[in-house]
Amino acid sequence: MLKGLLGVIAGVTAGIVTVFIAESAGHLIWPPPPGIDMNDPEALKELMRTIPFEAKLAVLIGWGFGTFSGSAVAINVAGRASWPGWLTAFILFGLALWTMTIIPHPNWMLFGATGVTLVSAIAAAFIWAQD
């Protein structure tokens, strides 16, 4: 049980770091307009309306990689048990949902986040879990 909990902590951390790196790369390719106040909800709504589709898709890909890497780390730290990977995926999906409530995203991104999280968690469990 302790290895499982440590796996979840390590997995969530790895997933967040992966998402951060992926989203940072996306911001380098598609930078936000200069002078935007990232603490202003109205500015963030406008930003989501104006950034290109590819930038939004890159966010989904980052969430997928984050879930995959986080679940893989959790499973391996936990001694190849699958439940820490699933719990990690659930937590990372919750963080994606939280992000989508703070910064309004298009509805298709909610469905996309659900899909990439599920597929990524299944792939990690298929590759690494032994139970």
Per-residue pLDDT reduced to its tens digit, 31-80: 988 888 888 988 988 889 999 999 999 999 999 999 999 999 999 999 99
CA 117 to chain centre: 7
95: number of Cβ within 10 Å:
17
Per-residue pLDDT reduced to its tens digit, 107-120: 999 999 999 999 99
Angle CA(122)–CA(128)–CA(131) in degrees, nearest 5? Answer: 85
Per-residue pLDDT reduced to its tens digit, 1-40: 999 999 999 999 999 999 999 999 999 999 988 888 888 9
DSSP-assigned letter for residue 79: T
State which residues form the domain around 78.
Answer: 2-128
Give the model's pLDDT for residue 44. 87
* pTM (two decimals): 0.93
How many domains in the chain?
Answer: 1
Give the model's pLDDT for residue 33. 85
